Amino acid sequence: MAFAVAPPLRPPDSLAGWRRSPGATPPPRFAVVLAASSGVGGERAPPTFGRLREELLQLHAEADLTQSKANSARVRLVRLTEAAENLKKRAATSVRMGKENEAVDLLVQKKKLTKALENIKERIEVLDKLSAKISE
């Protein structure tokens, strides 16, 4: 297998800033060409043991990363659940003290937090499924 890298079509502008203007064309990219060795009749060479092992290690690393994202989301879920309970208690206290406007604001925050909790639960489910599929 051989790789070839072609130079960019034009040199980048030395005065260009980090951000492009909305209508500007993207900067030039390098062209990477991959030439696979062909067998008889144009068939590709069979994958080697080393390449298969490398792909397997990469898949395991991706599964571990996905599982770690799911675990981080679980920690966030617990923390936000506690925050939602705290907001509910504070709203009840505000009602008892006669601060209805503050209680309404706290309950609105709790509602937004509850929606975020639902999104996190869905994300955890998706990440768990993805991790299981990658690990297969």
| 56-79: pLDDT as tens digits | 899 999 999 999 999 999 999 999
Look at residue 88 and tell me whether its pLDDT is greater than 90: yes
C-alpha to C-alpha distance for 44 and 51, rounded to whole angstroms? 14
Q: Are 8 and 29 in contact (CB under 8 A)?
A: yes
C-alpha to C-alpha distance for 1 and 104, rounded to whole angstroms? 66
Confidence of residue 3 (pLDDT cuts 50, 70, 90): very low
Report pLDDT for 2: 47
C-alpha to C-alpha distance for 64 and 70, rounded to whole angstroms? 10
